[in-house]
Structure 1
Amino acid sequence: MVRADAKRSERAILEAAERVLYEDGGASMEQIAEAAGLTRITVHRRFASRQALIEALSISAKEQLLSAIEEARPQSAPALVALYRVTENVLRVKTSWRFTLRHNTAHSEASAAIWAAIDGHTVSLLARARGEGLLAATANLQWARQVYYSLLTEALEWPGEDGAVANPEPDVLATLVIDTLLYGAGPR
């Protein structure tokens, strides 16, 4: 029972930290504790420093990204369908982790290993897309991966008519990302 309580507390801290830090990147551990409904001592017991908390956020967000990719079962569908599924799932996760996934922190070994797995899945899917003729046979997969990642990031910041972030549904953004990746701004 203590273990379950500790997990709930950790999850509450991470969720509160993401919300609070998204609003104020300089928020204190005390502000995060308050948002989590816990004492500062409880937060410090679990995360000795702000950097430890940021690293835990990074690992949690990347684990969810990796799960989102795997849940899309990209190997079980044609590359175009898989690209849409993966993109929609990733955008759903990225929407929940706007602070953490934009925050540049040094990667721990654990975080770097998760990111390497994400990169591996992405390059593998792009290789399938190239093999199925969706990308040019000469397309550089590392460059295509970077462009894809940039499109994902930009989609979440896409301005609406009034200049505010539009925030359409992930399926709408996925279509925008994949269409731009495959066709650019040119005619189809």
Structure 2
Amino acid sequence: MSAEAGPRRVRADAERSTTRILDAAEDVLAVDANATLERIADAAGLARATVHRRFSSRRALLAALTDRLNERYLRALDQTRVSAAPPVAALHRLTELVFELKVANQAVMELTTDPETGITALSEEVVAGLDLLFTRLREAGEITAAEPAWCRQVYLAIVHEAWRLPADSPALAGTTDDPAGVLGARADLTFRTVLGALGGGRPQ
């Protein structure tokens, strides 16, 4: 074994342990938002000391979960092709993916979100991707609002409010009891509302 193989193996083991902890945390916190690090360690099948070495506190664990969530937002932006796809189509597809993320990561989002605004702390890369999308919408004449940061804030606020609507809300009229149908209705409502709020002339 080379001199470098040992450190590489240690790093790989540490990365696997971290992944196991974060996976377990997502599962456990979905059931009990107040779960302790010790309970998460048990669910991960790791010694409690191992978890405490990776995450010195619950706050540090939530920060790591926020980073992971931002990575998923970045993947959604990549799938949407915000820099190349027609911007209206990109906005609609991104909104669908954002609501899918909310379903899959609901517990983590609730724990890492500002309770007043409903907005999760977004990384600089995610913010840049959103701002690029709204810049392209403006350049294409799809919206009249000129400030990308303002557009982003409006968008995230409307996503939050659409998410909070009960499934039987008149605003979601015409949907079925199928969760996928309700989710699609939330995305469509958000899409139309955002374009209208930002001065869009051709909401679809």
Q: Shorter chain as normaliser: what TM range?
A: 0.7 to 0.9
- The alignment status of 1:126 with 2:134, answered yes or no, reads yes
Structure 2 residue aligned with 1:177, among 168, 190, 194? 190
**Alignment check: 8 A CA contact 1:91 1:174 kept:** yes
CA distance in 2, matches of 1:6, 1:167: 38
**TM-score, scaled relative to structure 1:** 0.76
- The alignment status of 1:40 with 2:53, answered yes or no, reads no
**Alignment check: 8 A CA contact 1:74 1:85 kept:** no
Shift of 1:9: 2.7
SS at match of 2:133: helix
Structure 2 residue aligned with 1:71, among 75, 79, 90? 79
Residue identity matched to 1:179: R
Larger Rg: 2
**Alignment check: 8 A CA contact 2:82 2:132 kept:** no
Structure 1 residue aligned with 2:57, among 49, 53, 70? 49
**Alignment check: 8 A CA contact 2:137 2:143 kept:** yes
Q: Percent identity?
A: 39
CA distance in 2, matches of 1:10, 1:156: 30
Equivalent residue for 1:96? 104
- Number of residue equivalences: 176
Query: Structure 2: 5+ residue runs without aligned partners?
Result: 1-8, 115-120, 170-177, 198-202
Residue identity matched to 1:43: V
Residue identity matched to 1:127: T
**TM-score, scaled relative to structure 2:** 0.71
- The alignment status of 1:156 with 2:169, answered yes or no, reads no
Query: Structure 1: 5+ residue runs without aligned partners?
Result: 106-111
